[in-house]
Amino acid sequence: MSNAQDLTTSNFDSTVKQGVTLVDFWAEWCAPCRMMTPVLDAIASEYSGKATVAKINVDNEPDLAMKFDVSSIPTLIVFKDGEVSKRFIGVTSKGDLTAALDGAAG
């Protein structure tokens, strides 16, 4: 069980519209995506109350993947008040992700 919130088309906008949100576009069959799970869980715990960490399963939500031009997974996007702040493709270090969250939080 992940600490990250599951996002769908119905709750995406309301989740990312305010504050800082890290969104992981992933799929169950993706080994690099599974490698990111413990990193994202740790960030979700450490940033509780400061930022939201969320996941979008691209197999279940292809419209959201297309909206953000996700062609490779994992793709991790940091949103600040609904706008894309930073984008990462592939396995990304915890340090790079937290630096992007801290930068977006300003």
Structure tokens at 89: 């493709």
Question: Please, which residues have CB within 8 angstroms of residue 35's CB and are 6 or more apart in sequence?
Answer: 91
Q: How far is CA 32 from CA 23, 38, 71, 84, 98, in A?
A: 15, 12, 14, 22, 19
Which of 33, 40, 64, 101 is catalytic? The answer is 33
**Which one of the listed residues 27, 30, 42, 105 is annotated catalytic?**
30
Residue 30 is a catalytic residue: yes
Residue 33 annotated among the catalytic residues of the structure: yes
Residues carrying an active site annotation: 30, 33
